[in-house]
A = this chain, B = another copy of it.
């Protein structure tokens, strides 16, 4: 019988699978009561630093639902903190980074770090997860008779534009005013910042693989804020270096973008193992574009999981049907779960995927 991990890796290598593997972005999160309980006594940064607890949070959705892969509980901004930026998660605001990087001096102030030392907690979290996911507990955790065995473990980092946007804005943004202004008025500074981000991301990803990650996902959550010509000129060379370096680690590399239906050609040019797309991309169009040797992941609207079971079943089935025929496919949502996600609906979606 195929193990969950093998099914996940097979799909990412565009090899045949008995059914599509499935996991969900932000599957470990606030929608789960057991997550809220574990998080209630700690700040977000404290939880990240507590490897036992971060590992338990990573495993919670697997224990409850039995997805084919776990994604390590961490944050794309961890490397910026390790480079020396102040990082706090403020309630109602989200991440706040201080001081924001606004010029070449700011870029120069970002220091290298040794991931085994600076983010030792993440290394330990991954090692615990790897051990647990390979243990008998999960091998015998047989939901529906077809998803036993070890699970995949996904490590990740942010892609260059997305990480740079947080460094420059100092927080989340809808308009990326400071980031784009830097790109247009100080292109050398912008270029140097993206280079530095890739420089530190590569050993950071290598550490994650060394500690047990089977697969890496690169989140370019906000890259879709750029037009195609600008993305190609100012960002793609950096993304390509990151993807190539990550693939050289010997694991499949998934590139994800939210709102990037206009950038499929550019993302594909970075040569990922798989492209993770949102619901704005028509699956058949993506399949034709990426061809038979690049896997696809996605792309259901996560807000479907706030609706009722009938809608979840029909939208999940619609998603599966749309990707049918693509040689490598991983079921997922097109962006991360929101806190109002209904846990019972997650089970319904997974039942539908499992046929």
Contacts and interface: CB of A to CB of B under 8 A. Distances in A.
Contacts of A180: 301, 303-304, 306-307
A175 B259 contact: no
Nearest to A315: B184
Contacts of A318: 229
A303 to B, nearest CB: 4
Interface in A270-317: 279-282, 301, 303-304, 306-308, 311, 315
Contact of A311 (B184, B226, B280, B307): B184
A181 B306 contact: yes
A91 interface: no
B184 A304 contact: yes
Contacts of A230: 301
Given A175-B338, A261-B261, A338-B177, A228 B282 contact: yes
A181 B303 contact: yes
Nearest to A181: B306
Contacts of A304: 180, 184
Interface centre among A280, A304, A306, A340 (most CB of B within 10 A): A280
Interface string A249-283: 00000000001011000000000000000011110
**How many chain copies?**
2
B259 A308 contact: no
A47 B146 CA distance: 64
A163 to B, nearest CB: 19
A177 B262 contact: no
A185 interface: yes
A227 interface: yes
Contact of A282 (B175, B262, B308): B262
A176 interface: yes
A39 to B, nearest CB: 21
A341 B230 CA distance: 20
Interface in A337-351: 338, 340
Nearest to A307: B184
Nearest to A279: B227
Contacts of A177: 303, 306, 338, 340
Contacts of A308: 184-185
Contact of A307 (B185, B224, B227, B315): B185
Contact of A280 (B262, B301, B340): B262
A164 B230 CA distance: 34
A231 to B, nearest CB: 10
A315 B306 CA distance: 42
Interface in A161-184: 175-177, 180-181, 184
Interface of A: 175-177, 180-181, 184-185, 224, 226-230, 259, 261-262, 279-282, 301, 303-304, 306-308, 311, 315, 318, 338, 340
Given A226-B279, A227-B282, A262-B281, 6 more contacts: A180-B303, A181-B306, A184-B304, A184-B315, A261-B261, A262-B262
19 contacts: A175-B338, A176-B303, A177-B303, A177-B338, A177-B340, A180-B303, A180-B307, A181-B306, A184-B315, A227-B279, A227-B280, A227-B282, A228-B280, A229-B282, A229-B318, A261-B262, A262-B262, A262-B281, A262-B282
